[in-house]
A and B are shown apart, each in its own frame.
Chain A
């Protein structure tokens, strides 16, 4: 498979075309906005957090296929997880996306999100894939400033 085919796999194209949990959430008790100032990508992540567990999660915004698919996959993966599990997943996803040489096992610890592993071959696109993750991180921490990929 070429690097390009690895980046734009069927699952990613599908999540781009029909993103899951792509909606505003009126009952959210955590919410954060994220920007990528480089390309203008913009995402809002909504979370309903109950006793440390992500009961519901959704997102809205505009961006490229990678950022949209990553956000969609993320919401599907995080629903039902507790905050600390979400944090561990965030760290492993980040290591996988950046191709962190200190942990080449990270890719095995992210479940279905492995599908995004091709991103690390495209350094200019790492921020697209990580935007939603930085944003959910900010939402869970209750930060009031918009998250950015910078």
Chain B
């Protein structure tokens, strides 16, 4: 787990570790790009991460040599494609330590995974006046699907507040849990603030009452080692593209026991075992939830991303990311008038900040001219912006291929912002 420690300048000055970031960067072709004539500094990893050559190759190889539909062909190519796709499912299971491949459902991304649970589990098991708990730092994709469900079944959304550092107020969570609570849906790592949420504790408090918990892991999987059995959660949702895989593919992990009880999310091909006009029998897990031809190359590409991640030394990756966040926090804190939003004790990979007199959009444009890609806006987390009383923030979000030098480039670019705005 990445912890935000007190700044230690002597460590920063040395900027050395046995982690060879130059070698890692060579694996990601886009990192050699220039933007407005300057070397690209990619600090928008929270939006989407870059892809290593091996992932790009896996996609190309599939279309060049294996392209075929899966689960239905008797011919050679279809068998190959099916084997590659199902092998990817096995890699995902291993990656998050699920018990069986049946618990790994391929979806389009985190958003679809959450919608699937809200519509399938939620519409089956929640009713009028039941309560769903979320936190005040959720991404819109872990708010709106539950609001839609509330409208459909008459349930109510309850929100755990966050404190000024951007941490969940656990006493308030305990207070919100009551006999009407029927579901808990919480982010693992906040996309806008970087807070690592104590999800294990959240899960165990819910489980004391027999309540299912969904964790939004979109921002966690690129940074933390995730073990769904250790976390104990009932559902875990994440996207391929934020963890160095392709866009358009993601994963819903669900405990088999719950998935078995849930009706299909969409109807169509592949999710059935027998169709007559009188009655349709649904396929077994995980196929019951995978209607239609899936994103085959995406699944295979996600498998390649997991293969790539497994070649890295994770304790070193974590130490490097930890150093990046501490160094960035320290150097940006020195800039006059800059205020960091999100100062939780435990953070991963995100640094959001504001100026009183310069809007995030203007910061983003000027940084872009220096080759620095950041996100400026509400980060699909408008309630977080309202909580901190800001219209928008500038967000730098890091990955293990980023460097200390790049943070220096960003700090200098911010100085230029202040020069323009005086």
Contacts and interface: CB of A to CB of B under 8 A. Distances in A.
Interface of A: 2-4, 7-8, 13, 17, 38-42, 62-67, 122, 124-125, 128
A39 to B, nearest CB: 5
B358 A65 contact: yes
B377 A4 contact: no
A13 B360 CA distance: 15
Contacts of B421: 8, 13, 65
Given A4-B369, A62-B391, A65-B421, A39 B376 contact: yes
B362 A64 contact: yes
A128 B366 contact: no
Contacts of A17: 357
A125 B376 CA distance: 12
A13 B369 contact: no
B393 to A, nearest CB: 10
Interface in B244-302: none
Contacts of A67: 361
A63 B369 contact: no
B35 to A, nearest CB: 13
Contacts of A7: 365
B108 interface: no
Contacts of A128: 361
Interface string B397-409: 0000000000000
By CB atoms of chain A within 10 A, which of B365, B391, B422 has the most?
B365
A40 B365 contact: no
Contact of A125 (B360, B361, B382, B422): B361
A122 B36 CA distance: 12
**8 shortest interchain CB distances as A-B pairs:** A64-B361, A64-B359, A39-B377, A40-B378, A65-B362, A62-B391, A4-B369, A64-B362
A64 B420 CA distance: 14
Interface residues of B, number: 19
Interface in B368-422: 369, 376-378, 382, 385, 391-392, 420-422
A117 to B, nearest CB: 16
Contacts of B392: 39-40
A39 B392 CA distance: 7
Given A66-B361, A125-B361, A125-B365, 7 more contacts: A3-B369, A7-B365, A8-B366, A39-B361, A40-B382, A40-B385, A67-B361
Contact of B391 (A8, A38, A40, A124): A40
Nearest to B369: A4
B286 to A, nearest CB: 35
20 contacts: A2-B369, A3-B369, A4-B420, A7-B365, A8-B421, A38-B377, A39-B360, A39-B361, A39-B377, A40-B377, A40-B378, A41-B361, A42-B391, A63-B391, A64-B361, A65-B421, A66-B361, A66-B362, A67-B361, A125-B361
Given A13-B421, A40-B385, A40-B392, A65 B359 contact: yes
Nearest to B370: A4
Contacts of B362: 8, 64-66
Query: Which of B360, B362, B366, B420 has its CB near the most chain A CB atoms (within 10 A)?
Result: B362
A25 B422 CA distance: 31
Contacts of A63: 359, 361, 391
A41 B391 contact: yes
Interface centre among A39, A67, A125 (most CB of B within 10 A): A39
Contacts of A64: 359-362
A7 B361 CA distance: 13
A52 B223 CA distance: 60
Contacts of A62: 391
Chain B CB within 10 A, most for which of A38, A63, A65, A125: A65
A38 to B, nearest CB: 7
B316 to A, nearest CB: 36
Contacts of B422: 13
Interface string B44-70: 000000000000000000000000000
Contacts of A41: 361, 391
